[in-house]
Amino acid sequence: MNILIKAICFFVLCSICYESFSHDNVASADFAELEETVRNNTGDIEELKRQIAELKERIDQLLGQGSFGDTLFKQGKYDEARKEFIKEYKDAKVSNNKKAPEYLYKLAQCFKKMKKSKEARTTLKKLIADYPSSDFCGKAEKEIKELK
């Protein structure tokens, strides 16, 4: 039961932090998921610990440590990073965030690490087509040639 008390305290602290980052839709969704887990926890302490660790990591990213996808990529969790970059790309695209092409580029890097050349090439071509003035286009064109 001690972990539940810690989780609730952490939850309150995180709610204060998240108010500062209310523009981050992904973070808000992560926080809502943790909130539901804490409220509905029926004794699955390991799941609660995992959720708290993920939220702590997410807060670190929001404070300037890079995106959650970057962290997963650095840990070699390419499929998880891929999923996160897809979410980050969709959020960036919806909000017209200039990071959208960067997330596409990083998504392609995940595909490359996963030995999925076709998907990497398709993603890089989408980056070039959708964001022709992006700084990532030059890198994307070079990598498309290397993937053939």
90: domain CATH number is: 1.25.40.10
What DSSP designation does 143 have? H
83-97 average pLDDT score: 84
Same domain? For 7 and 56 the reply is yes
Same domain? For 41 and 85 the reply is no
User: Is the pLDDT at 139 greater than 70, yes or no?
Assistant: yes
User: Is the pLDDT at 68 greater than 60, yes or no?
Assistant: yes
Query: How buried is 64 (Cβ within 10 angstroms: 0-12 exposed, 13-18 middle, 19+ buried)?
Result: exposed
- The total of structural domains in the chain comes to 2
Predicted pLDDT at 1: 44
Does a structural domain hold residue 124? yes
Residues in Cβ contact with 8 at an 8 Å cutoff, skipping those fewer than 6 apart: 38
What DSSP designation does 67 have? -
Same domain? For 83 and 51 the reply is no
46-53 average pLDDT score: 66
Helix segments in 1-148, DSSP class H: 2-20, 25-40, 45-60, 68-74, 78-94, 100-113, 117-130, 136-147
User: Is the pLDDT at 130 greater than 90, yes or no?
Assistant: yes
Residue 55's domain spans which residues? 1-65
Same domain? For 60 and 119 the reply is no
110-125 average pLDDT score: 96
